[in-house]
Amino acid sequence: MKITKHQWPLLIISGQFNMPNDEGFRLNELVHELEEVQQCSVIPSFTYEDAKEIFISRADIGVVVVDWDLPEEDDHELMSAQELITFMRGRNKTVPILLLTDRLETEDIPVDVLKKINGYLWKTADTIEFLSGRIETHLLEYIKSVYPKFFGMLVKYSEEYKYAWHTPGHMGGEGFLRSPAGVALFKFFGENTMRSDLSISVPELGSLLDHEGVVGDAEKFSAHVFGADYTYYILNGTSNVNQVIWRSQVLPEDIAFVDRNCHKSLNYAMVITNAFPIYMIPRRNKRGIIGPVRLSEFSPETIAKKIRDSKLIPEKLKKNLPKMSALTNSTYDGVCYNVVNIKKELERSVANLHFDEAWYAYARFHPMYKNHFGMSDDDNANHPPIFCSHSTHKLLTAFSQASMLHIKNGSSVKINPDEFNESYMMHGSTSPQYSMIASLDVATKMMHDNGQVMFNDMIVEAIQLRKKVVSLLNDLRAEDSNDWFFGMWQPKTVVINGKEHRFENVEAEVLAATQSAWVMSKNNSWHGFDDMEDDYAMLDPIKLTFTTPGIDDEGNMADEGIPAGIVTNYLIDKGIVCEKTDYYSFLLLHSLGTTKGKQGTLLAELFKFKELYDRNAPLREVFPELTSAYPEAYGNVGLKTHCNDIHKYFKDHKLLESMQKAFQVIPDQVMRPAEAYHKVVGKQVEYVELKDMMNRVPAVMVVPYPPGIPIIMGGEILNEKAKPIFDYLQKRQDFENIFPGYQSDIHGVERIEKNGKKYFRTMCIKQ
């Protein structure tokens, strides 16, 4: 299907539509000419305010025509034409805005408006054909400018309806039409998906592996927009980005300095490079939320000590500095680091800096995040090369698995693109998916054109939701001081222009424009992290951590409580899928796809949960599947009783404390992650049940969710020092047996069943 100009409607704002006068007559004629002769579509709007709303909600407006002179009776308009034009230009730098006027001469129009418009249309002086022709010309020019280079070429090529004699074998979709299942797929995805699925042998689209042609241009454009010296498109997710980065720099015997709170792809990066890891330890608060690694972890002295203390690194290598550091920025819960300060520390002791920003590709585009992202510009004249991984698909708008790898050259050490490309090609396919490339190209153009506007809208909406949750609790407590509702992990008070205010009393727009309100400090300890350094880490407003009752900021457990997993199970049943569930908190992400409707539904469901909890509704009513699967365990309890049973178990068995202790230990390394993996390949591994795991060495990393941090890496030993890890896993296993149906995710752990009981087991090195 071709995209036509009809799909880019013209917004015409005038109070004259259908008026019984000359202007009304001519305006109707103009609309008729545009629709019937030019085959354009027209959205009429009668007031500037309505036009503003339409403009906010539709990014497909192709041209705006503003009647500068609304008639006398419309003087009550709340907004002037000038304000409307200023507003629209603020949101879209390039959409053609044309003034429709006849009373004012050019010199009467304020200069400020002149700077923002693309031309005039004289209401009475020009013919209708001429006016519609001018509008169409602007429209066509604008549509052309909307397409970034690669995507534009892909669309052009697909629309040329060429005969394909190359892969992919379905050849523009034809192959699917030979069998009913194929027809179903063709109809589902549509013809454009098929026609744009092309072979690397189409020269017009350039070469991804060589970064040439329009695809190379697209990567260069992304580098410019994201503040990098080089950007590479990676079509196998950030998991792969991380490996390309490490493969390009790290050799066997090199030391790597890695955030313990790292994604598993970094473990695999260690495996493929055969590096010796030393770890940065993140803080966590009493609620169990993972916080920033201490700044002191990055000092040359601390790094040197970690290397000295390593039982694994051979003495002859101990004088070497780490070849690579890898820090997760932001953390899952939205804690972002002041990268400018971290660079100053790490530049003294690490050869390459890697910031894994899988969840944070948008940071460059809003002043909220100034200095808190890897590609930040600063005047540091001494930094090593910096690498950043972005899952463009996670919180920007690319297709799944479409990611970007950004590189900033070091002040003196430059990255050689030809050398780097060897690692790129080692992890790339020679048959790239072009629609994924197009989505990266388009994500870049979107951020370039109006990234700040889009993210400001999003941040403001996320803050409005945050404020709403706090206000709801305040309202409930005003009626009954013992009432409860969910809370938000966020500042309770903020300082704006030197004055302290309650968070919920500050306008969302003001909070969105005040980075300092979100920066963590020792003085305002809402975050619960010990020894918080100033100007070091901030909370990202769009990562929404909801808290549930049961534990306070000091980690004191109340007599009653609501484990977050029960709430998120309820929400899942209602079609609301959360990003992450901890013991007493759950995380929801705001993204470009979040709508006001989603927010309303969420709040309504949280209220419904509260209502069910408060009346101790039978669990049969709330979780019918759970109760019918385990009638003996849950058949006769109510929701409140059920929440309190699990809460009491957590409290009595000190699960949170046990988790804290487990994660404070970095177990002794017996072999490198790579060697542990080599044992897997060499079949020198066996499954070991948890009860027998003391003094054994897992061959794979074990990552319990929550909190999603590796508790033990492949090659580390579960010895006496690591006993808290064993104890914690044991408690998790017991919990699953006492509360059937509550099986949480633990990567690296399998469950086996014996006599109706579940037992954990893990792949360990054979003794």
Segment interacting with ligand PLP, rule: CB under 6 A, options 231-239, 407-415, 502-510, 743-751: 231-239
Provide the minimum distance between the beta carbon of 413 and ligand PLP in the complex, in angstroms, as a whole number: 25
Provide the minimum distance between the beta carbon of 330 and ligand PLP in the complex, in angstroms, as a whole number: 9
Provide the minimum distance between the beta carbon of 411 and ligand PLP in the complex, in angstroms, as a whole number: 27
DSSP-derived pairing of the beta strands 353-356 and 97-101: unpaired
The answer to the question of residue 310 lying near ligand PLP (CB under 6 A) is no
The answer to the question of residue 239 lying near ligand PLP (CB under 6 A) is yes
* Nearer to ligand PLP among residue 237 and residue 710 (C-beta): 237
Provide the minimum distance between the beta carbon of 58 and ligand PLP in the complex, in angstroms, as a whole number: 30
* Nearer to ligand PLP among residue 153 and residue 358 (C-beta): 358
Provide the minimum distance between the beta carbon of 579 and ligand PLP in the complex, in angstroms, as a whole number: 10
Q: Which of residues 333-372 bind ligand PLP (CB under 6 A)?
A: 356, 358
Q: End-to-end distance of the chain based on CA atoms, in angstroms?
A: 63
Segment interacting with ligand PLP, rule: CB under 6 A, options 35-43, 236-244, 371-379, 631-639: 236-244
Cα–Cα distance measured from residue 384 to residue 345, given in angstroms and rounded to the nearest whole number: 11
* Nearer to ligand PLP among residue 65 and residue 269 (C-beta): 269
Segment interacting with ligand PLP, rule: CB under 6 A, options 234-242, 583-591, 668-676, 695-703: 234-242
Q: Among residues 480, 174, 535, 531, which one has the least CA distance to residue 339?
A: 535
Other beta carbons within 10 Å of 395: 23
* Nearer to ligand PLP among residue 262 and residue 722 (C-beta): 262
Instruction: Provide φ and ψ at 82, rounded to 5°.
Output: -60, -40
Cβ contacts of 595 within 8 Å, gap of 6 or more: none
Starting at the earlier edge strand, list the strands of the sheet with 543-547: 487-488, 543-547, 585-589, 580-581
The answer to the question of residue 238 lying near ligand PLP (CB under 6 A) is yes
Cα–Cα distance measured from residue 394 to residue 396, given in angstroms and rounded to the nearest whole number: 6
Segment interacting with ligand PLP, rule: CB under 6 A, options 233-241, 246-254, 484-492, 587-595: 233-241
Out of 16, 231, 352, 391, point to the residue binding ligand PLP (CB under 6 A): 391
The answer to the question of residue 707 lying near ligand PLP (CB under 6 A) is no
Q: Which of residues 606-635 bind ligand PLP (CB under 6 A)?
A: none
* Nearer to ligand PLP among residue 395 and residue 697 (C-beta): 395
Q: Classify 723 as helix, strand or coil.
A: helix
Mask 515-544, x = binds ligand PLP (CB under 6 A)? ------------------------------
For tokens 């020019």, name the residue. Answer: 141
Cα–Cα distance measured from residue 119 to residue 336, given in angstroms and rounded to the nearest whole number: 44
- Label residue 130 left, alpha or beta by phi (over 0 means left) and psi (-120 to 50 means alpha): alpha
Provide the minimum distance between the beta carbon of 495 and ligand PLP in the complex, in angstroms, as a whole number: 31
The answer to the question of residue 328 lying near ligand PLP (CB under 6 A) is yes
Provide the minimum distance between the beta carbon of 270 and ligand PLP in the complex, in angstroms, as a whole number: 14
Instruction: Provide φ and ψ at 30, rounded to 5°.
Output: -60, -45
* Nearer to ligand PLP among residue 356 and residue 582 (C-beta): 356
Residues in the chain: 767
Provide the minimum distance between the beta carbon of 442 and ligand PLP in the complex, in angstroms, as a whole number: 18
Provide the minimum distance between the beta carbon of 698 and ligand PLP in the complex, in angstroms, as a whole number: 21
Provide the minimum distance between the beta carbon of 701 and ligand PLP in the complex, in angstroms, as a whole number: 14
For tokens 């300060």, name the residue. Answer: 341
Burial class (CB in 10 A: 0-12, 13-18, 19+), 253: middle
List residues bridging with 404 in a β-sheet.
233, 390
In angstroms, what CA-CA distances link 677 with 146, 330, 374, 713?
A: 48, 29, 31, 11
Binding residues for ligand PLP, rule CB under 6 A, total: 10
The full 3-state SS of 539-584, as one line of letters, equals ECCCEEEEECCCECCCCCECCCCCCHHHHHHHHHHCCCCCCEECCC
Spell out where 570-720 has E strands. Answer: 580-581, 585-589, 685-689, 703-704
Q: Classify 680 as helix, strand or coil.
A: helix
* Nearer to ligand PLP among residue 101 and residue 243 (C-beta): 243
Mask 178-217, x = binds ligand PLP (CB under 6 A)? ----------------------------------------
DSSP-derived pairing of the beta strands 42-45 and 10-13: parallel
Kind plus residue range of the DSSP H or E element containing 394: helix 392-395
Q: Which of residues 248-277 bind ligand PLP (CB under 6 A)?
A: 263, 265
Provide the minimum distance between the beta carbon of 265 and ligand PLP in the complex, in angstroms, as a whole number: 5
* Nearer to ligand PLP among residue 265 and residue 310 (C-beta): 265
The answer to the question of residue 656 lying near ligand PLP (CB under 6 A) is no
Provide the minimum distance between the beta carbon of 405 and ligand PLP in the complex, in angstroms, as a whole number: 11
For tokens 């939205």, name the residue. Answer: 334
Cα–Cα distance measured from residue 552 to residue 532, given in angstroms and rounded to the nearest whole number: 19
Residue 546 · residue 585 · CB < 8 Å: yes
Out of 403, 545, 568, 644, point to the residue binding ligand PLP (CB under 6 A): 403
* Nearer to ligand PLP among residue 95 and residue 353 (C-beta): 353
The answer to the question of residue 376 lying near ligand PLP (CB under 6 A) is no
* Per-residue exposure over 667-684, b if at least 16 CB sit within 10 Å of its own CB, e if not: bbbebbbbbbbbbeeeee
Provide the minimum distance between the beta carbon of 242 and ligand PLP in the complex, in angstroms, as a whole number: 6
List residues bridging with 97 in a β-sheet.
64
Kind plus residue range of the DSSP H or E element containing 258: strand 255-259
Segment interacting with ligand PLP, rule: CB under 6 A, options 76-84, 235-243, 674-682, 751-759: 235-243
For ligand PLP, the binding residues (CB under 6 A) are 237-239, 263, 265, 328, 356, 358, 391, 403
